Amino acid sequence: MVGLIAGFGFNPFIGAIADRTRSKWGKFRPWILFTAIPLGICALLAFSTPDFSYKGKMMYAAATYSLLLLLYAANNLPYAALSGVITGDMKERNSLSSYRFVAVMFAQFFVQVFMLPIILSVGKGDKAAGIEAVMTWLAIIGTVMLLITFLTTRERVIPTAEQESSLKNDLKDLIGNRPWLIMLLVTTFIFITLAMKGGSYVYYFNNYVDETSLTHFISPITGFFHSIGMNFFGEEPKSAGFGLFNAGWYYHDDYGHYFFKKVCRQVW
């Protein structure tokens, strides 16, 4: 519920403000700069477990998660729009988006397959301690990467005064744009489907997969990893199965996108 409210509330608000930002660094780069460190700190706090009562922990989780979503929107929306002002060449914009897409898929693959084993290894079996330690390093790396992004980019596409419009006119244009409304509806259903599918995977592995059969099925793969000194999953076959399942899904998803893009180039 917190994420749903934040998504509908924060994102349009941040998007409207960022699009109307004017500074010597441009309209989007300042947001990346000034949210980098707060986002890193909040990411660490959101995945920390304070010594509070149950009610206190719930309030802490809701507060830090809401703040994390707000800072993420304030950082990610301008970051996503940055390619549109770095260059006016559509081929270069598409190339930038492609690199970004590949990087996102790699990050999702890494998190799905390796994050839990790394957490268990770092925390020596204590998930809470492992998450805090891993998130500390991820927060530091993420903050540094965002600062590098600010320092190594430049906004070259500057809108003229004639291109400026009010928020009211923007909303009017969107409401009257049927292709945009169709894409909004389709995208919403796609993300709902992905959320339901992702949640069902976890439920399926926890409640329906037979651990003995799964261990026998994946033993050749885990045995190979063990033989080269890569014991990612420890003694948790369901974690190993879930990680390998997601690895296969991401591999075929990436290959499908590559194949579709190649076919489209040949056709068009």
pLDDT score for 197:
76
Q: Name, in order, each residue with C-beta under 8 angstroms of 131's C-beta and a sequence gap of 6 or more.
A: 47, 119, 123
- Of how many residues is the chain composed? 268
Tokens for 206, please give them: 């926890």
pLDDT at residue 265 in the model: 57
Inside any domain, residue 149: yes
Mean pLDDT for 32-40 is 94
- Percentage, residues of the chain above pLDDT 70: 80
Nearest to 125 by CA among 133, 137, 117, 115: 117
Predicted local distance difference test score (pLDDT) of residue 156: 86
Give the C-alpha separation, 55 to 62, whole Å: 11
CB 129 within 8 A of CB 123: yes
Instruction: Return all residues near 236 (Cβ < 8 A) that are at least 6 apart.
Output: 120
Residue scoring higher pLDDT (230 or 71): 71
pLDDT value for 37? 95
Per-residue pLDDT band for 119 (boundaries 50, 70, 90) equals confident
What pLDDT was estimated at residue 150? 94
Q: Is residue 259 part of a domain?
A: no
User: What is the domain count for the chain?
Assistant: 1
Task: Please give the average per-residue pLDDT across 60-72, as a whole number.
Answer: 88
Q: Tokens 């590098």 correspond to what residue?
A: 148
Residue 192: how many CA atoms within 13 Å on its side-chain side?
A: 7
Q: Average pLDDT for residues 143-167, to the nearest whole number?
A: 83
pLDDT confidence of 147, banded at 50, 70, 90? very high
pLDDT at 8 over 70: no
User: Where do the H-state alpha helices sit in the chain?
Assistant: 2-19, 29-46, 54-81, 83-86, 90-122, 127-151, 167-175, 178-207, 211-227, 237-267
Rounded Cα distance between 220 and 213, Å, is 13
- pLDDT single digits (tens) 209-257: 787 787 777 777 777 766 766 665 556 677 677 777 766 666 666 556 5
In a domain, 262, yes or no: no
Q: Considering the domain boundaries, does residue 79 fall inside one?
A: yes
Place of tokens 């949640």: 199
Domain hosting residue 60, numbered range: 1-162
Going from the C-alpha of 121 to that of each of 125, 130, 233, 243, the distances in angstroms are: 7, 7, 9, 15
Quick check: is 120 in a domain?
yes
pLDDT at 162: 65
Alpha-carbon distance of 127 to 8, in angstroms, equals 32
**Has residue 30 got a pLDDT over 90?**
yes
How far out from the chain centre does Cα 258 lie? 20
Rounded CA gap, 127 and 49, in Å?
A: 11
Q: Is residue 16 part of a domain?
A: yes
Is the pLDDT at 258 greater than 60? The verdict is no
109 pLDDT tier (thresholds 50, 70, 90): confident
Q: Does residue 29 belong to any structural domain of this protein? A: yes
CA atoms within 13 A on the CB side of 80: 11
Spatial distance between the Cα atoms of 166 and 73, rounded to a whole number of angstroms:
21
In a domain, 116, yes or no: yes
